[in-house]
Structure 1
Amino acid sequence: MTMHPRFKLIAMCLAAAVFTAACGGGDEDPLPGDTTGDVVAKYIGSWESDCYEDSGASAKARADFTKTSATSFTGDVIAYAYVGTSCSGPSVKDEKVLTGLSMTHAGTKTLGGVTVDKFSGTSTQKNGKLVMYVNGNTLQLGDVDGPEDAEGYANAFYDSRYTLKRIQ
């Protein structure tokens, strides 16, 4: 089964952000959040997308982020594919989209009328830049395949299907 390009984009977008710990189809316990006032605190913990249709099957992504300092974090983003359209049963494929992620806060910018955080860093798969925004328990990521600003950061968010929600 070929993974839909959007499925890979979610991971790339998350990659330039902040991740840690292995994920497993949503079966692992979520990582704890961070209640400090550090700039990365709101991103720390586990996140998962809603189930979405992917080439006649279904898919979802999970990200786990662990704080390494007040301005940086590590983690992994893993995408899961399922037979059928409900993301139920065991995953038939997982793709380690971004592993060994290490991100550092690089400032803020305005995107879509909100102030987003900019991150730069590396993963096993690639180096990159990412913008992230948290509103309550919802995480939006900048579309890494869309238009970029002069510094190479996304100028648009991913489609709302690819929004991640905090796993409590």
Structure 2
Amino acid sequence: MTTRIRRGFKLIGLSLAIAALTACGGNDDPLPGDTSGDLVAKYIGSWESGCYEDSGASAHLRADFTKASPTGFTGEVVAYAYIGTSCSGPSVKNKKVFTNMVMSHDGTKVVGGVTADKFAGTADQGSAKVLLTVSGNILRIGDPDASKDAQGYPNAFYDKSMSRI
């Protein structure tokens, strides 16, 4: 093979590798919200938690929700872990906490004086009953470790919240 042909193949290989890496990079742009009057509209879009420190490391969550129907949504939740306590620099690990989520509205419930929406859902990681409520741009989530009511929904909110991106 001539040097010219080898260089051509190397350039083609490099171009394909760059294209593959670019395609796998994902899209960090937040999902648009929903301005309709549908029950799930206030939950649609992208949400991010604050930075949480634990044992010299830190992490934050991101949730992306897309409307599937006026009473249901789909999405995923990803946890990003960092070395150090400031959630800065590149994440050293990301874990898809919930993938292929499908959530369906199942009524409402008052918790701590706040009316929350009950959602029954499934994800690749299993099924769950979740409480959600939005106030302005803050999403509060029912604490999965709290005591449960007769239908299996939490009786308290998690002490952390997420903000709309």
**TM-score band, normalised by the shorter chain?**
0.7 to 0.9
How much does 1:41 deviate? 0.3
Structure with higher Rg: it is 2
**Bigger helix fraction:** 2
Higher relative contact order (CA 8 A, sep 6+): 1
How much does 1:121 deviate? 1.4
Deviating beyond 2 angstroms after TM superposition, the runs of 4 or more aligned structure 1 residues are: none
Cα distance between partner residues in 2 of 1:46 and 1:114: 22
Q: Could you say what secondary structure the match of 1:158 adopts?
A: strand
Q: Which amino acid aligns with 1:130?
A: V
Gap runs ≥5 in structure 1: 1-22
**CA RMSD, Structure 1 to Structure 2 (Å):** 1.3
The yes-or-no answer on 1:123 pairing with 2:120 is no
The yes-or-no answer on 1:105 pairing with 2:105 is yes
Gap runs ≥5 in structure 2: 1-24
1:131-146 correspondence to structure 2 within 5 Å: 131-146=131-146
Counterpart residue number, 2:71: 71
How much does 1:31 deviate? 0.1
Identity in percent: 65
How much does 1:116 deviate? 0.3
Q: For this pair of structures, how many residues does the alignment match?
A: 141
How much does 1:32 deviate? 0.1
Cα distance between partner residues in 1 of 2:46 and 2:55: 26
Cα distance between partner residues in 2 of 1:158 and 1:121: 18
The yes-or-no answer on 1:55 pairing with 2:55 is yes
Cα distance between partner residues in 2 of 1:101 and 1:154: 19
Cα distance between partner residues in 1 of 2:99 and 2:115: 27
**Bigger strand fraction:** 2
